[in-house]
Chain A
Amino acid sequence: MAEIIEVNDLVKVFRNGVRAVDGVSFTVSKGEIFGFLGPNGAGKSTTLRMLSTLLRPTSGTAIIDGLDVVRDAREVRKRIGLVAEKMILYDYLTPYENLRLFGKLYSIEEKELDKRINELLKTVEMDKWKNERVKNFSTGMRQRINLVRGLINYPKVLFLDEPTLGLDPHSSVEIRQLIAKLNKEMNITVILTTHYMEEVDALADRIAIMNNGKIAALDTSENLKRRISEETILEAKVTDSAGALKAVRALEYVRDVSSSDGVLRITGQGRDFVDAVINSIKSTGAKIISIKEVEPSLEDVFIKLTYGGE
């Protein structure tokens, strides 16, 4: 697949001296969904802002569809769409008027614009409400309009910054399905930044995990999970999780342990890891109701790469 985004040694140092992005390089293929993960302050948003021409890189280059984001900023803007975490819609306007306003700002011809608006509203099943004021809509409906607002110029690259933040689970699933559908039907390259692991796991073809301004890992979800496959993850349901947690944490084989609803999730490695965990729990007087080995999740990878010091 041809590459639509090429980023080379991108650096952003702010006036206060903070090195938000520190030599990031990656490429994104046409039609790919590329996910960005990372804790707050990792440099995801700054990278996204440089790619969307909002911030100028201190050094390095970023090329989108063959155009430099600094030198050819105006041309790049015609080829990209941005859907930020907050909804960029005007409440006093209808979906049709909102899309028309943005379409006009992209200098889309009247007839073509009208056709696109109708098509996009149909795609997100909002054509029935195209003449209702946006202020009367639910959050999910608004986000659907917001999403197609970013597509009015038929962009080659769509930047999605936390697209499901603040949505209820049902609306989140709906928006995720919509992103996948738009990516498939319109062959749009999507750069997705989110805090939700399951979102990026379900949507992204490849994931870049950022930490301290650098890319800590970049691969498919499967390959990232495989990176920690030398470790064993156990889930144990016990009667006294607080006491067991304390005891297990003290074991030298254990790298990470967490507790939720009486279930301990223990990550570690070593030949005697499983025996040591079982014995340790029993020694506290707690009873093991059930214990099983589980596959590592993207969250495990994320924690290991961002907090685990790899």
Chain B
Amino acid sequence: MSHLTNLLRKEVKELMTGQMIASMLLMIFMFAILGNVIGNVQSEAMKQEVRISLLDLDMSAESKKLTELLNSQQNVALTTLGTESTEDALKIADNHSSSALLVIPSGFGEKIDNKEGADVDVYGIVRGLGIMDTTNSAKTQVAVSVINELIAQEYVREAYPGTEPSNILNPVRPKSFIVLRGVVSEGSPEMITSLLMGQSVLVPVILMIAIMFAGQMVITSMGMEKENKTLETLLTLPVSRSTIILGKIGGATIVAFIMSIIYLLGFGYYMRSITPNSSISMPSLSMGVLGYALLGVSLFLAILVALSLSMLLGVYSQDTKSAQTMIMPVTLLVMIPFFLLMFSDYTTMPTALRALLFAIPFSHPMIASRALLFGDYAVVIAGIVYMALFAVILWLITIRVFRSDRIITAKITFRRKR
């Protein structure tokens, strides 16, 4: 046990270099900066007034009423233009930095009076494609739709005095409920989709980062040990080969775990910063302690499988350079389930595709993150058992390789054909 502790300490010290700590700090810093910048831009954009120019070619009582309604809206800075041509009005609106020009054509009032429906031309002036610009465009659309609502309410009031206009305009008001695992909650299926999207992106991204970082660390460390012949020296010490492997995998797991936590915290902060009002309370969709524990076990086993696989591949490297190319198979095995599960659900996939996903050990934490929300424990437990078996088999192969000559002699060379 003391050997393992010493080897673990050595591995962690070796992996936690100044560069590694700096890159971790940089990651937190980047998430914080990005979250703050994007969040601030969004909230500033929401707070700022939208500038709208208006050209009234009708000058009727109705068009003046529309102008008043627009002026009375919050966050709208309205400029009424005196010109008579739309071209000139567009130039002036552009000079005024307006986001849109509304043109009320002549005959507007008459059409409104006759309840024929009147056109208002909305010219959106695009200056950029940033958050500020898209928010302004959305605010203009909201302003125009609010006017529509107000005019419609006025029609209703004239036609049915004493009646609440919204009862006529929206006689049916659907109230959405979701039934999940027998529990009824208030909300719409879109809310679940948005919640699931968050889960289904967050878990695979964390997994991908953890596996790629940890796999890269193990494989590079193996390549370095082979290049510097430190492995040969370690193997001449009276320490069992399985302890040496355990030390390597354990060290990388500890560092990967720290990195995953840091990444999770950073990513969570970033998500909260850019979506301040999107928190959804859905008690029936919470995982519970058992769910989180199973997800944790699933994530841990996936990382363990990745590390064992990387170590086994690392044995066949000759140096650091060749080791880095050997991480490719692991990366591919993470990418396949990531992209497949991003666009479809495991339960609704064709059987062949489901079998393929099940066979790839890294699919299971991604499948588990969704399945646990729906209380489908069977697929999660099956995945955990499969990954545990996979890890044990890899472990046995690695120990066998470490005990044989291949640990010294094995190599795969990528030679170009001449």
**Interface residues of A, Cβ cutoff 8 Å to B:** 14-15, 49, 52-56, 74-75, 77-78, 80, 82, 84-88, 90, 92-93, 101-102, 104-107
Contact = CB atoms under 8 A, between A and B. Distances in A.
Nearest to B407: A54
Contacts of A86: 227-230
Contact of B239 (A15, A75, A105): A105
B3 interface: yes
Contacts of A101: 6, 9-10
Q: How large is the interface on B (under 10, 10 to 19, 20 to 34, 35 or more residues)?
A: 20 to 34
B400 to A, nearest CB: 13
Nearest to B228: A86
B408 A54 contact: yes
Given A53-B235, A55-B409, A107-B3, 19 more contacts: A14-B405, A53-B236, A54-B235, A74-B238, A77-B236, A77-B237, A77-B238, A78-B238, A80-B236, A86-B228, A86-B229, A87-B228, A88-B230, A90-B14, A104-B2, A104-B6, A105-B237, A105-B239, A107-B238
B279 interface: no
27 contacts: A53-B235, A54-B232, A54-B236, A54-B408, A55-B405, A55-B408, A74-B238, A77-B236, A77-B238, A82-B233, A85-B229, A86-B229, A87-B228, A88-B229, A90-B10, A92-B13, A92-B17, A93-B13, A101-B6, A102-B237, A104-B3, A105-B3, A105-B237, A105-B238, A105-B239, A107-B2, A107-B3
Question: What 4 pairs across the A-B complex have the smallest Cβ distances?
Answer: A77-B238, A88-B233, A84-B229, A104-B6
Interface of B: 2-3, 6-7, 9-10, 13-14, 17, 227-230, 232-233, 235-239, 404-405, 408-409
Given A82-B236, A90-B13, A49 B230 contact: no
Contacts of B3: 104-105, 107
A104 B2 CA distance: 8
B10, B14, B228, B404 — which one has the most chain A CB atoms within 10 A of its CB?
A: B10
Nearest to A16: B409
A276 B359 CA distance: 80
Nearest to B238: A77
Nearest to B14: A90
A151 B223 CA distance: 26
B236 A52 contact: yes
B276 to A, nearest CB: 42
Contacts of A104: 2-3, 6
Contact of B238 (A49, A55, A93, A106): A106
Contacts of B9: 101
Contacts of A90: 10, 13-14
Contacts of A55: 405, 408-409
Contacts of A80: 236
Contacts of B229: 84-86, 88
A84 B228 CA distance: 9
A79 to B, nearest CB: 9
A263 B235 CA distance: 48
A100 to B, nearest CB: 9
A92 B7 CA distance: 15
A170 B152 CA distance: 98
B227, B233, B404 — which one has the most chain A CB atoms within 10 A of its CB?
A: B233
Contacts of A49: 232, 408
Contacts of A75: 238
B2, B230, B405 — which one has the most chain A CB atoms within 10 A of its CB?
A: B405
Contacts of B233: 82, 84, 88
Contacts of B405: 14, 55-56
B297 to A, nearest CB: 32
Contacts of A54: 232, 235-236, 408
Contacts of A14: 405, 409
A50 B394 CA distance: 27
Nearest to B9: A101
Contacts of A53: 235-236
A14 B406 CA distance: 10
A185 to B, nearest CB: 23
A165 to B, nearest CB: 12
A86 B319 CA distance: 13
A93 B9 CA distance: 12
A35 to B, nearest CB: 20
B227 to A, nearest CB: 8
Contacts of B14: 90, 92
Nearest to A58: B405
Nearest to B239: A105
Given A49-B408, A92-B14, A106 B230 contact: no
Nearest to B410: A15
Given A49-B408, A54-B236, A105 B6 contact: yes
Nearest to B403: A56
A44 to B, nearest CB: 15
Contacts of B239: 105
Contacts of A15: 409
Contacts of B17: 92
A292 B265 CA distance: 80
A116 to B, nearest CB: 16
Contacts of B408: 49, 54-55
A54 B13 CA distance: 26
Nearest to B244: A105
A87 to B, nearest CB: 8
Contact of B228 (A56, A82, A88, A102): A88
B13 to A, nearest CB: 6
A49 B359 CA distance: 40
Contacts of B6: 101, 104-105
B201 to A, nearest CB: 37
Contacts of A56: 404-405
B333 to A, nearest CB: 28
Contacts of B235: 53-54
